[in-house]
Structure 1
Amino acid sequence: MSFLGWVERTGNRIPHPFTLFLYLIGFVFVVSWVGSLLGLAVVHPGTEKEIAIKSLISSDGLHYILESMVTNFTEFKPLGLVLVMMLGIGLANKVGLLEAAIKRTLTHTPKSVITYAVLFIGILGNLASDAAYIVIPPLAAMIFRSFGRHPIAGLAAGIAGVGCGFTANIFIGGTDAILSGITTEVAKVMDPDKIVTITDNWYFMSLSVIVLTFVGGFITERVVEPRLGTYKEEEDFEEKLVDLNPSVKRALRNTAMVALLYIGMIALVLFLPHSPLRGEDGGILVDSPFRDGIIPFLLGFFVLTGVTYGVTLKKISGVSDVVQYMTESIKDMAGFIVLVFVIAQFIAYINWSNLTVWIAVGGADLLKSIQMDGFPSVILFTLITLILSLLITSGSALWSVLAPIFIPMFMLLGYHPAFIQVAYRIADSATNMITPLNPFVAVMLGFLAKYDKKAGLGTHVSLLLPYTVAFIVVWCLMLGIFALFEIPVGPGVQMYL
């Protein structure tokens, strides 16, 4: 526990992400000024032109800061993507659809597959955002207990799915929008035409759901639960599984029918001869209007299902109710919007100063000189992320720090930025629930104390560490297999450009 104590002490000294980026902006100011004084320059590998470092502490720098501050924010790609996605997902979440669907699935799962169902639903649960942490782990504990199994094992499986498997999903979600937007902003420094879309990690992340479900199930049944022993229930302990009333069941049934109808209509249009949603070569997932315009389709899916569920339960009686729920969803994103303002400035300033190109070329040359420009360099980057994610728990904040350094560097080595994005995501996700700095760790400790009053942070970490280790090892092996056999991590996206 001494290492975890160090993590907690060190992490507590790290300022709020907003303040951290203010410090980073100040650091960029100073470094750009020093680099300009020293006359540092580098040849851009794409244009073959010499690129000199420009000082932000100069007349040109001041003009740029004053003239670009607003557009740096408003044109920052992740901002629009995330807000549009949250209009739909947030509506479905606010009316209770996601929570009800999770409860319905878990409470009607056969005993023989309950462990794997908990992991599977937990991993998919990131669509419900923070609500998944509050709903899935305690519900999993109750279900395990009702089956005569140790409730803490169910709790651990639920936490592992929701937290350690957070980045994986079959559905495109907010995480894809945030990270791909940041990656695109940075990648344009090396290639102005490069765009990383929200579907560029879809194949890898979809397969991850299946793989992690089985890996997490194995860890739960062969490692965690045997170690817990027999659960001794206290005499005064009372607990009841959630009761889904007939109205909720009817609402879920109506929603499922609307969802299938919506998907069926899109599929029908997609497979029509000369469909306007297909690309010039007839493609669907690569270079097609469908892929490029998938955000509106996703928005439509969540709005329709959310409205159907809300209308059935009489939570929605008119357009004003829909607007109100969407407004509440955007209010929940207020912290993200504020943080995006300073992140957008940081990325814009480091790009304008040409520090990004200078660091990328130097770093790429260094890796080549020590013969570390192959796949092991990607694993090294994953390990660096693994360590830093213990201290900076905001995935978007950490990626905003690492992307401007590593994306251009790896692009110079020939790697696709979306592939490096995957390498980041697996490390950041796996450590989610073993760092004391994650606010939800405290919430999980509260759930844990319900079944073991003596449990503390050490108990929590000992439960989740096997999942963290197993997930990161399996994920790295998966990444290696994708690279070795040139399997695309998303539509048309392989390891190399």
Structure 2
Amino acid sequence: MSLAGRALNAVERIGNRLPDPVFLFLWLIAGLIALSLVGAGLGWSAVNPVTGDRLVAQSLLSSEDLERLIIGMPRTLADFPPLAIVVTIIYGASVAERTGLFTTAIRGALLNAPKALLTPIVVIVGMMSHHASDASYVVVIPLAAVMFAAAGRHPLAGLAAGFAAVSGGYAGNLFPGSQDALILGITEPAARLIDPSYSVNIAGNWFFIIGVVLIFTPIVWFITDRVIEPRLGRWTPASGSQAPASDSEKAPLTPEQKKGLAWAGLAILGMIALWTTLTLIPGSPFVDAEAEPGQTFNPLYRSLIAFFAVTFFVAGGAYGAGAGTVKSHRDMVRMMGEGISQLAPYIVLAFFAAHFVAMINWSGLGPILAVNAADALEDIALPAPLLLIVVVLVSCVFDLFIGSASAKWSALAPIVVPMFMLLGISPEMTTAAYRMGDSVTNIATPLMSYFPLILTFAQRWDPRFGLGSLMATMLPYAGAFLAAGLLMVAAWVALDLPLGPGVGVHYEPPPPAVAAQEPISGGVAGPHSPPQPAAAPTMR
């Protein structure tokens, strides 16, 4: 067996032995408790250069922290920002998904794609389909194969292009959505470990994710048309497929579906008009006239969570009314309930992730480690682009073993985000680097949760197409994505490009407060804990 084959087998063996992410967090919490005992005993400390507070490690088995943990357990979960954000958006997105809006819009875009532009349209639709959650995998990828076959091209090339866009291009999109809300919702409390006033909004990576689409689309186009399809050879139906496509996949949109899409389009335009009006009216709640230049529209950006939730709900209802998939308001309520029920695994994970994040804060170890690590890195004097390249690579390695993006970021953010803030890099830039690394290796690891499903899709066209075939097909995309991703992150920092509206690459701390006279522990006040100093880091 080749060296590459042995390496892939080793990755698969190691990954299969890892526990579920829930138990990974349990082990992390146990290790954190032990480390807090050591840190408190040895008197580990650091001075927060932003607030001037002296942070001292605190034992998580102290009476105060046990009270926070046990009595404040419901509040700890309720205060975990990503949970509320995701639930809010899912209320609307579940209606749009279950009425058929997402699926029909994706099918309509691909069915009407010009033959000459089929590959780039598949790629752009695949990246845009991230708003549709799991539908992106079960609709875009098999439908891309059908469209390629209908155009006389090899269906497995279409499947590869769709898989590369949906999974390898996971960091890319033209508009922020639930994934942005989830990941950036984890970033904010991590940033507040250093700067309690720091605020992150859903548009914090908007320009960056558009950049991913613009850069990754020609890469997938070139590799699909010039590398993968020639390697697969000419496609003929006699080459072994048993079930090339179902009638439903090839069928054009029905008049009812077209009517539903038209109504949904009008609903979306209406929501855009409403938000624009609310922004332009005197005394708008979306405009902070007293804010510093560049921060005036921060309330508008933070309102995008509500905007997407309400827009998905209204557009989904409009599509359902036009297409006949919604008969009464009770159908929409049922769809919302079904969407929340599918969120159950994430809610379970969020309980443990919330406590891990909170306990890092209570112990003070997160900011202490960040301050000391930042000092060490500052002494080395590595340039910012190189530092963020390390974040991309670490994220790539983690992605080989742990599929959940939120689980990995919940564990990494409390250390990485504060550390890079102290080096002058904004939390949004660190988040963007993490997201890039989390995307590029998805398509190359058999441990990715949808990998067996994609293999099943492929075997509909070629029963001999095995696991190794799929990995060999996707590795050129993964390698190109990694190289492009590293260059993109480095160039973004070097050119100091904006990441989103009012969000830059660099972090400039507010004027430091006078250092506290007495050392304090970094933490979040629980519902029954004594009052904390006003300047102490907090997390909501």
- TM-score, normalising length from structure 2? 0.88
CA distance in structure 2 between the partners assigned to 1:336 and 1:74 by the alignment: 14
Q: Deviations over 1:414-452 (max 9, x none)?
A: 110111000000110111121111121000111111222
Q: Deviations over 1:5-26 (max 9, x none)?
A: 1111111111001111011000
Matched, 1:262 2:266: no
TM-aligned CA deviation for residue 398 of structure 1: 0.6
User: Superposition pairs for residues 433-448 of structure 1, below 5 Å?
Assistant: 433-448=443-458
CA distance in structure 1 between the partners assigned to 2:65 and 2:220 by the alignment: 51
CA distance in structure 1 between the partners assigned to 2:54 and 2:259 by the alignment: 66
Q: Deviations over 1:10-64 (max 9, x none)?
A: 1111100111101100000000001111222222222333321101122233222
CA distance in structure 2 between the partners assigned to 1:493 and 1:288 by the alignment: 10
User: Superposition pairs for residues 142-291 of structure 1, below 5 Å?
Assistant: 142-234=146-238, 239=245, 240=247, 241-271=250-280, 277-280=286-289, 286-291=296-301
Alignment partner of 1:309 out of 289, 305, 319: 319
Q: Deviations over 1:304-355 (max 9, x none)?
A: 1100011122322322211111111111111111110110000110111011
Q: Deviations over 1:112-156 (max 9, x none)?
A: 101110001011111111111111111111111111111110010
Matched, 1:493 2:503: yes
In the other structure, the counterpart of 2:358 is 348
Structure 1 residues 482, 73: CA separation in 2 closer, same or farther (over 3 Å shift)? same
User: Superposition pairs for residues 128-143 of structure 1, below 5 Å?
Assistant: 128-143=132-147
User: Superposition pairs for residues 15-30 of structure 1, below 5 Å?
Assistant: 15-30=19-34
Question: 1:72·1:345 contact (CA, 8 Å) conserved in 2?
Answer: yes
CA distance in structure 2 between the partners assigned to 1:115 and 1:295 by the alignment: 31
In the other structure, the counterpart of 2:6 is 2
Matched, 1:456 2:466: yes
Residue range with higher mean Cα deviation, 331-340 or 363-372: 363-372
Q: Percent identity?
A: 37
Residue range with higher mean Cα deviation, 151-160 or 286-295: 286-295
Question: 2:202·2:302 contact (CA, 8 Å) conserved in 1?
Answer: no
SS at structure 2 position matched to 1:42 = strand
Question: 2:400·2:447 contact (CA, 8 Å) conserved in 1?
Answer: yes
- TM-score, normalising length from structure 1? 0.96
Q: What letter matches 1:482 in structure 2?
A: W
TM-aligned CA deviation for residue 373 of structure 1: 5.2
CA distance in structure 2 between the partners assigned to 1:354 and 1:277 by the alignment: 35
Q: Deviations over 1:71-120 (max 9, x none)?
A: 11001111111100111111100111100000011001110101110001
In the other structure, the counterpart of 1:419 is 429
Question: 2:99·2:325 contact (CA, 8 Å) conserved in 1?
Answer: yes
Alignment partner of 2:385 out of 375, 380, 383: 375
CA distance in structure 1 between the partners assigned to 2:275 and 2:74 by the alignment: 37
Alignment partner of 1:365 out of 343, 359, 375: 375
Question: 1:56·1:353 contact (CA, 8 Å) conserved in 2?
Answer: yes
Q: What letter matches 1:88 in structure 2?
A: G
CA distance in structure 1 between the partners assigned to 2:452 and 2:482 by the alignment: 23
TM-aligned CA deviation for residue 471 of structure 1: 1.8
In the other structure, the counterpart of 1:120 is 124
Alignment partner of 1:322 out of 309, 332, 336: 332
CA distance in structure 1 between the partners assigned to 2:218 and 2:283 by the alignment: 41
CA distance in structure 2 between the partners assigned to 1:96 and 1:54 by the alignment: 52
Residue range with higher mean Cα deviation, 428-437 or 52-61: 52-61
TM-aligned CA deviation for residue 284 of structure 1: 9.2
In the other structure, the counterpart of 1:88 is 92
TM-aligned CA deviation for residue 276 of structure 1: 5.0
Q: Deviations over 1:259-311 (max 9, x none)?
A: 22332343355455775533317989853432222222222211111000111
CA distance in structure 1 between the partners assigned to 2:297 and 2:276 by the alignment: 17
CA distance in structure 1 between the partners assigned to 2:379 and 2:283 by the alignment: 51
Q: Number of residues paired by the alignment?
A: 497
In the other structure, the counterpart of 2:344 is 334
Structure 1 residues 337, 237: CA separation in 2 closer, same or farther (over 3 Å shift)? closer
Q: Deviations over 1:380-411 (max 9, x none)?
A: 12111111111111100011111112111111
Structure 1 residues 372, 59: CA separation in 2 closer, same or farther (over 3 Å shift)? same
Q: What letter matches 2:256 in structure 1?
A: S
CA distance in structure 2 between the partners assigned to 1:44 and 1:238 by the alignment: 61
Question: 1:364·1:373 contact (CA, 8 Å) conserved in 2?
Answer: no
Q: Deviations over 1:195-218 (max 9, x none)?
A: 111110011112322322222111
CA distance in structure 1 between the partners assigned to 2:117 and 2:297 by the alignment: 39
Structure 1 residues 481, 375: CA separation in 2 closer, same or farther (over 3 Å shift)? closer
Q: Deviations over 1:169-216 (max 9, x none)?
A: 112211111111111111111011111111100111123223222221
SS at structure 2 position matched to 1:439 = coil
Structure 1 residues 117, 88: CA separation in 2 closer, same or farther (over 3 Å shift)? same
